[in-house]
Structure 1
Amino acid sequence: MYADVMENIFLLVLVTLLSVVQNVFFALKVEKECIGLNSKQHSTAFERLSCANRNCMDTYPTFLAVLWCAGICLSQAPAAFAGILYLVVRQKYFVGYMGQTCQSIPGFLFGKRILFFLSLMCIVGIINYLMLTYGGSDYKEYIQTITKAASTLLLLP
């Protein structure tokens, strides 16, 4: 039984651990910039890093919730793929914020699109479960096929 459970969530666990490592990286960057400052001196680089880190932390619980919900309720592979894309986009957002603020906008918009896709996966998975429970109709295989194809569309700019 343990192997069956791990098989269904392994990719989600991997993406979650990668996101934790990324959060540690962000925190270390902010700490490194903070150590270089005097208490009376505020650099714009520190302000930008701190703001980027706060923004990433604000969306992190939402990301984890929709990642796991989409992976468990519908399909693990497309959810994990979208999760990896989200981490790449979040890295682009963070690095873009270290330059000029306008460089972070593409990462922000792309991240919103990925979160929307994961949220849509959650909703469709829940609706399918309710249809199976109360209506006797299971469309999970069809939906999974569509979701796997649609997840590749996330790569389009």
Structure 2
Amino acid sequence: MYSIVVENIYMLVIVTLISVLQNAFFALKVEKECRSVNPNPAAFERVSCANRNCMDSYPTFLAVMWCAGLCLSQAPASFAGVIYLVVRQKYFVGYMGQTSQSTPGFLFGKRVLFFLFLMCIVGIFNYLLVRFCSSDYKEYVETITSAASALLLLP
């Protein structure tokens, strides 16, 4: 039984571990800016604010990614998670330059979170259909979400 559970979540675990490494990278950037020889208060404030903003959305990202992966399908949820991490990196780097450069990353990140949230809702709805109506549409929905996850790459 243990191997069945691991097979169903290993991609989600990998994305979660990558996100932990990314959080460590963000923290190192803040620490580096704080310990700089020529401290620039504006640069430190931007890096610190970008880090706080990323940390504020991090629990939401983890919750919807794991729920989408467990309730529906781990492959599209993991793919969307990787896309979210790339977008979050773009947001962080953009925020270090000028705050206006971070706007595309922020908006794209919201779209990925919304996709993961919809996956959660569809997975829960399918569970309720199976439980109360004996109708299982999981295979159809997994196919649709796998195809729709590729649409996340569109700007």
- Which residue does 1:92 correspond to in 2? 90
Q: Which residue identity does 2:68 align to in structure 1?
A: A
Distance 2:44 2:130 in 1: 52
Q: CA RMSD for the aligned pairs?
A: 1.1
Q: Which residue identity does 2:75 align to in structure 1?
A: A
Q: Is 2:8 aligned against 1:8?
A: yes
Relative distance call for 1:12 and 1:122 in structure 2 (3 A) is same
| Cα deviation, residue 2, structure 1 | 1.2
- Which residue does 2:142 correspond to in 1? 144
- Which residue does 1:111 correspond to in 2? 109
Distance 1:16 1:37 in 2: 34
- Structure 2: runs of 5 or more not aligned: none
1:122 pairs with one of 120, 123, 140: 120
Distance 2:76 2:33 in 1: 36
Moved over 3 A (4+): none
2:75 pairs with one of 74, 77, 83: 77
Distance 2:129 2:37 in 1: 58
Identity score, percent: 75
| Cα deviation, residue 88, structure 1 | 0.2
Contact in 2 for aligned 1:37/1:43 (Cα 8 Å): no
TM-score (normalizing by structure 1)? 0.96
TM-score (normalizing by structure 2)? 0.98
Distance 2:120 2:154 in 1: 22
- Structure 1: runs of 5 or more not aligned: none
| Cα deviation, residue 125, structure 1 | 0.1
- Which residue does 1:35 correspond to in 2? 35
Contact in 2 for aligned 1:49/1:97 (Cα 8 Å): yes
